[in-house]
Amino acid sequence: MSEFPSFDDVGSFPLPINIDKERFNNFYWTAYKALINKIDIFKNKGIQIYFIDPIFQSFQSKLKAGVEIINYPQHMDMYTQFLKPINDYKIEPCLIDPKKAYIPEVFVIENYAKNHYEKLGVRLKLKICITGPIDLYVRKHQFTVYIDLALNLAKSINSVLKNSIINNKYIETSAISVDEPSFGYIDIFNVTNDDLIKIFDNTLEGINKQKCATQFHIHTLNRAYIPLQTKNFDVITCEYASDKSNKIPKKELEQFDKFIRVGIARTNIDSIIAENIDKGATWEKINTFEGRMDLIDSKERIRKNLLDALKLYRDRLMFIGPDCGLGGWQHPEVAYNLLYRTSKVIQEVKNSKKFMV
């Protein structure tokens, strides 16, 4: 392979330790309403302290850790973040008013990117994660899928994305990820494979794929044959670090002209904790900053995952980074160190030219 895959991250991140979760949530929705009403959120002290500053801090932490394409810090619950505005500003069941469809974090990061560019002359690369229509549907309506409602959710997501993609001299939206973590684990009814392909493709309808990569984020590849058949997605994800059997043949990616993102550092904190307790660790030790630091995968383990993925997928491997979100790791400094360790391994392998073998 001639081009090394890009380092991006996925989903959630721990709030700064001085920020109360409830206050963050309250000011999140205050900021959302202000954006709808074209009010400058940077002039509101409460929004600044409890919403803007935490986003700045978390984004800066990811940047400092070496992430190349940075997902906006997702501190809000991934379902509430989208279901609440879809419900509050609906014009039809499950269909949001396109003029009121936002990801507030993106507007905050645009401001950060402007200041960053003016200081350093560097254009930042942004990733936008959004919860997918089937995961939102199941959370709202359970497992029997009515296609008209699911398509409305897909159109709502499409509106949110179109209002959130930013490309200027300060910032470039380099990747979009539609997140369907339950897909492949749960049984859904009253919907065909063709229906699902149509629903998923509608989330990205009319979005220029030439300007950014489009990822379909799943935790298992059990039903990867569905996103492989979509026309609007370029990349399938893979939570590889937590389960090395979670892979598909490279020839299938080639057949459908798709690429893959592979997780090379584990983030499934609950399973990692359980594994360590089974080995004799105590909860009192694990539930400390030092204890959490000890749970991060070693550089050797991350390096092996990366080299295995490079060998398995070669030129079809487009993105690498940790598995799904870091919100459960509690301490932002621990999350930073997980990202930084992953970054160091990536740079070492890249510089060693081992990936060419």
Classify residue 34: in a domain, yes or no: yes
Q: Which tokens go with 257?
A: 């002209």
Classify residue 61: in a domain, yes or no: yes
As for how many domains the chain has, the answer is 1
Enclosing domain of residue 30: 6-356
What's the CA dihedral at 238, 242, 243, 247 to 10 degrees? Answer: 20
Q: What is the pTM for the complete model shown? A: 0.95
Label the pairing between strands 124-131 and 90-92.
Answer: unpaired
> Is 221 in contact with 248 (CB distance < 8 Å)?
yes
- Chain segment 176-193, per-residue pLDDT in tens: 999 999 999 898 999 999
Classify residue 278: in a domain, yes or no: yes
Q: Provide the pLDDT for residue 357.
A: 46
The CATH number of the domain holding residue 16 is: 3.20.20.210
> How many residues does this entry show for the chain?
357
CA 107 to chain centre: 17
Q: Provide the pLDDT for residue 354.
A: 58
Classify residue 279: in a domain, yes or no: yes
**Residue 268, Ramachandran bin (φ over 0: left; ψ between -120 and 50: alpha; else beta):** beta
Classify residue 347: in a domain, yes or no: yes
Q: Provide the pLDDT for residue 210.
A: 62
Classify residue 129: in a domain, yes or no: yes
Q: Provide the pLDDT for residue 325.
A: 86
- Chain segment 239-287, per-residue pLDDT in tens: 999 999 899 999 999 999 999 999 999 999 999 999 999 999 999 999 8
Classify residue 1: in a domain, yes or no: no
The list of the chain residues with pLDDT below 50 reads: 357
Q: Provide the pLDDT for residue 208.
A: 74
Classify residue 343: in a domain, yes or no: yes
